[in-house]
């Protein structure tokens, strides 16, 4: 493998790893379900492809590379749809997003008594 592919692979793997960590922190720190779904959706839609591309750059041309490419296409097709479906199901289930008004008071969300 050439040095360029090694550096590109390292860059993609590092960026994917950083996004996984920041997404995990976002899931833990966000105040309500909808913000957490957003953090998880962005993480799995961007971090997983970066990690897979980094792995693909380290592989030789083989059937394994084709399988990882198929996984990449599947992830890009299903993850945004799954995140949207979870948020829509929660909204239809009666959960309201946490919103703050102009005074800074928060309304809605799971912690509200509405």
Domain ranges of the chain: 3-92
Q: At 108, phi and psi to the nearest 5?
A: 80, -165
pLDDT at 113: 46
- pLDDT tens, the chain, 114 aa long: 688 889 999 999 999 999 989 888 888 888 888 888 888 888 888 899 999 999 898 888 889 899 999 999 998 888 888 888 888 888 888 778 777 766 655 666 555 444
Secondary structure (3-state) at 107: strand
d(CA 12, CA 86): 28
pLDDT at 112: 46
Q: At 86, phi and psi to the nearest 5?
A: -65, -45
């Amino acid at each position: 493998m050439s040095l360029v592919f090694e550096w590109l692979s390292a860059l993609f793997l590092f960026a994917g790893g950083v996004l996984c960590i920041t997404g995990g922190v976002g899931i833990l720190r966000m105040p309500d379900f909808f913000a957490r779904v957003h953090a998880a959706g962005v993480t799995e839609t961007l971090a997983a492809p970066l990690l897979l591309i980094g792995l693909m750059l380290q592989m030789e041309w083989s059937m394994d590379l084709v399988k990882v490419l198929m996984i990449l296409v599947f992830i890009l097709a299903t993850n945004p749809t799954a995140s949207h479906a979870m948020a829509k199901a929660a909204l239809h289930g009666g959960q309201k997003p946490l919103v703050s008004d102009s005074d800074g008071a928060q309304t809605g969300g799971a912690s509200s008594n509405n």
